[in-house]
Structure 1
Amino acid sequence: MQTRNVTTPFGRRPMTLSLVRHQTALADIRQGKTADKWKVFRDASAARETLGIQTNSLAVLDALLSFYPETELRQDAKLVVFPSNYQLSLRAHGMAGATLRRHIAMLVQAGLIVRKDSANGKRYARKDKTGQVETAFGFDLSPLLARSEELAARAQQVLADRATFRIAKESLTICRRDVRKLISAAMEEGADGDWQGLEDRYVRLVGRIPRTPTLSDVEATLSEMEILQQEVVNQLDFLDNSEKISTNDAQIERHIQNSKTESLNELEPSSEKEQDGKSEPKRRQKSEPMKAFPLALILRACPTIADYGPGGMIGNWRDLMSAAVVVRSTLGVSPSAYQDACEAMGPENAAVAVAGILERANFINSPGGYLRDLTRRTSRGEFSLGPMIVALLKSSGHALRHAGCQSGT
């Protein structure tokens, strides 16, 4: 272990406790320790921002190292260099004197060099009879040797942070692009959903990104953008499932009807002659096939609605319709939208539709708009509840093996 004295700066330059700590730390340099001066310089350059120095400070440090003749900094060597300001300025690419002094002060403050001032502030070396430097006054490079491991660790951390920052920025850019284009596509093609609300959230989120973001800024924005992206994808996925349900509606409905002991087709008039005086209004004929589903099957597909029934349970179709009225209000569906659904589907089937919407409420931004869309599609003969029930049963893990059993309550 070395024993070193603390020296104070010459002239009006103040002494600080930070300078004292930097000098006393030099006494702890491990015996026989060495370090490549240019590797240490590269590490200091990489860690520049964490050290609080500027690029011109590095130019001065580079110049100072060039005055040390050896490549290796050694614990047992004299690591003091003593160039004049003129010589130092030349090797620092002609840096002005005032600028040079400012960046020397930065290097001292950062603890990368230590001043070793003579009595008159001049920089020089005193040699012995053999020509060896006995005492030198100038800039001590020992802090670079003492902190070589620390500077290497700082440099590695900076490089790791840069890589993380780059990856986070790339991920945010891709996520922004995906959200932007998905919302635009949905709005341009008139897809059902609150796309304007999602668009507003996207704009607000992008507007909060600073001009020069930090890693924490990017990661926080990316986290929120990924949540928004998932909501957009879930909404599109739900719409896609609804379209698939509509496409397969005829096949699934036919399968369920054919599995009943008494086919619904046999209950309907098969000719114009039989229809005279016997048929019910057209709207009622639309609703009858859907009511063929057993109530128990409906409740397996849509269990949540039972919480809104009388006494927290549903025992018959009347209870289901009562619960649907409560749910309609809870979901924010207007009375007129629910009335239109009842007229198009029949009150029982409208109640089942509301139960299905409640079951998927987390994925539907506008329950009222969704119900109106189902009503319009029902009026055009493009929608029935069979596929919706099948999809809900599958999502809840139930099989449809009981769908063909006799009608429930």
Structure 2
Amino acid sequence: MENGYVTTPFGLRPMSLGMLASQQLAETIEPGVKRSKWKLFRAICEARPALGVTDRALTVLDALLTFYPDDEICEEKGLVVFPSNAQLSLRARGMTPATLRRHLAVLVEAGLIVRKDSANGKRYARRDREGGVNEAFGFSVAPLLARAAEIEGLAAQAVAERELLRATRERLTVCRRDVSKLIAAAIEEQVSGDWEGIATVFRGLTSRIPRVATVEKLAPLLDEMALLREEVVNMLEIQIKPQKIDANESQIERHKQNSKPESTYELEPAFGPKQGARSVAHRDGDALPTDERQLKERLRSSKGAATKISGASEPGAGPGLKSFPLGLVLQACPQILDYGPHSTIGNWRDLMSAAVVVRSMLGVSPSAYEEACAGMGPENAATVIACILERGGHINSAGGYLRDLTRRTEKGEFAIGPMLMALVRANGGVRRHVS
């Protein structure tokens, strides 16, 4: 196209600023730029929504490109095609003249082609003596070459968005299937928990999945569904772990009984022996060192007292940690009651279920909570979560704090007792519990 040349439409068709902009854009083709017309056409098909053209308009563009003599579009070989409406209709799958004119106008408005009309509106070419085209009137495909990089970028973006949508759909489908089957398994196995409420939440999420999905609509649903799956898995794992611990203890450890348990239940275990203590005779008649015997007696008596006060089976305490009565935990951490089933906590399972909900609310990762359960025991990990909830205003990162406590527990540097007693004092003092 000649520089500075502006052509207006023939007949009653009006001129617009968009047409003028397309003509000016067609004049900005860099020297030597060329593109395969069919690769460029495929890119236009990929970027069709962004370009604002219909599939029927692309059929007309496909027919126009068949009249371009070479496979590569370049300025040196000319950029104007000049088929008659009859020929164009045949290559456009027999499209009627009125429909053809309408979709040609769509291509012009989208800035993909430019009209170059002759004085009488006919499409033809003037040739020189050697047979080469000297001047042609018809449709110029120069905008395609000028916008080639833009079109290819839009096509790549459209492909990436389509792949992201496909991956998001697949992940949501898998996540939805996992949650559905895990809830069904929990109900069938009669696992304790508010599974009807969880099923209601699941059905609500499922009903929000749109029929015509986009990434913007599916991404929030996927996040919520993944979080629900995470909570369901954690609830099931917490129910399974105590069973595994009890089974291992019954298979490996011998039954030990203290015929003279201490009558006083101590809130805190002794961290070291008293100086000058004497040896205590073992029930077989052997003698054990005083510090070892004292430690064993204190641990046995504290576990027995905790079982007697809570009225439940012995919680699975972690190595080096002593469990505490459920009543004392709830007195120290009353806020955890709001997250139990039906806003009540009647046993250790209820506390562990509430801790799973609070763990997610505090932003503690599943891996951090699993490490705490393994290092402290499930009941003690739930107790620590309740304490963190109670002191939430003073802790910046609940997950990091829990990991630090887990590491300190493994080294024997952490005890739950002082944390509980401090919260009890902060909440109004210790009340006596009668077993």
Query: Does the pair score TM above 0.5?
Result: yes
Cα distance, 1:265 vs structure 2: 3.2
Write the distance in 2 (CA, Å) between the matches of 1:389 and 1:41: 65
> After the TM superposition, which residues 8-407 of structure 1 pair with which residues of structure 2 at under 5 Å, given as runs?
8-248=8-248, 258=256, 264-266=258-260, 288=305, 290=307, 324-325=330-331, 327=333, 331-332=337-338, 361-363=354-356, 388=379, 396-397=406-407, 398-399=409-410
Write the distance in 1 (CA, Å) between the matches of 2:184 and 2:341: 28
Change (3 A) 1:5 1:227: same
Cα distance, 1:228 vs structure 2: 0.8
- The farther-off stretch of 197-206 and 145-154 is 145-154
Kept in 1: contact 2:330–2:336 (CA 8 A): no
Change (3 A) 1:117 1:361: same
Give the equivalent residue in structure 2 for 1:373: none
Kept in 1: contact 2:341–2:350 (CA 8 A): no
Cα distance, 1:66 vs structure 2: 1.0
Q: Residue 396 of structure 1 aligns to a residue in which SS? A: helix
1:145-170 deviations in Å (ceiling 9; x for gaps): 11222222222222222222111111
Q: Which runs of 4+ in 1 moved over 4 A?
A: 248-255, 286-289, 300-303, 320-323, 325-330, 332-335, 356-360, 386-395, 399-402
Cα distance, 1:63 vs structure 2: 0.9
What is the aligned-residue RMSD (CA, Å)? Answer: 4.0
1:325-358 deviations in Å (ceiling 9; x for gaps): 47568505799x88xx7xxxxxxxxxxx66x965
Kept in 1: contact 2:329–2:383 (CA 8 A): no
Write the distance in 2 (CA, Å) between the matches of 1:122 and 1:215: 48
Matched AA of 1:86 = A
Write the distance in 2 (CA, Å) between the matches of 1:150 and 1:219: 28
Write the distance in 2 (CA, Å) between the matches of 1:334 and 1:72: 70
Unaligned runs of 5+ in 2: 263-302, 311-316, 359-376, 385-402, 414-420, 422-435
Change (3 A) 1:177 1:321: closer
Change (3 A) 1:215 1:250: same
Give the equivalent residue in structure 2 for 1:310: none
Cα distance, 1:288 vs structure 2: 4.7
Cα distance, 1:322 vs structure 2: 6.3
Kept in 2: contact 1:301–1:396 (CA 8 A): no
Cα distance, 1:31 vs structure 2: 1.4
Write the distance in 2 (CA, Å) between the matches of 1:103 and 1:234: 58
Kept in 2: contact 1:81–1:139 (CA 8 A): yes
- The farther-off stretch of 208-217 and 120-129 is 120-129
Write the distance in 2 (CA, Å) between the matches of 1:230 and 1:9: 63
Write the distance in 2 (CA, Å) between the matches of 1:2 and 1:302: 90
Identity of aligned residues (%): 44
Matched AA of 1:331 = L
Matched AA of 1:167 = A
Matched AA of 1:264 = N
Change (3 A) 1:73 1:288: closer
Matched AA of 1:209 = I
Matched AA of 1:265 = S
Change (3 A) 1:145 1:331: same
The count of aligned residue pairs is 329
1:70-99 deviations in Å (ceiling 9; x for gaps): 222112332111111111000111111122
Change (3 A) 1:123 1:364: closer
- The farther-off stretch of 356-365 and 131-140 is 356-365
Cα distance, 1:242 vs structure 2: 2.9
Instruction: Give the TM-score of the pair, scaled to structure 2.
Output: 0.65
Cα distance, 1:231 vs structure 2: 0.8
Cα distance, 1:241 vs structure 2: 1.7
1:258-287 deviations in Å (ceiling 9; x for gaps): 5xxxx523459xxxxxxxxxxxxxxxxx96
Matched AA of 1:82 = F
- The farther-off stretch of 199-208 and 47-56 is 47-56
- The farther-off stretch of 71-80 and 225-234 is 71-80
Kept in 2: contact 1:9–1:117 (CA 8 A): yes
Change (3 A) 1:111 1:246: same
Write the distance in 2 (CA, Å) between the matches of 1:251 and 1:132: 96
Write the distance in 1 (CA, Å) between the matches of 2:412 and 2:26: 82
Write the distance in 1 (CA, Å) between the matches of 2:350 and 2:321: 11
Change (3 A) 1:120 1:243: same
Kept in 2: contact 1:60–1:103 (CA 8 A): yes
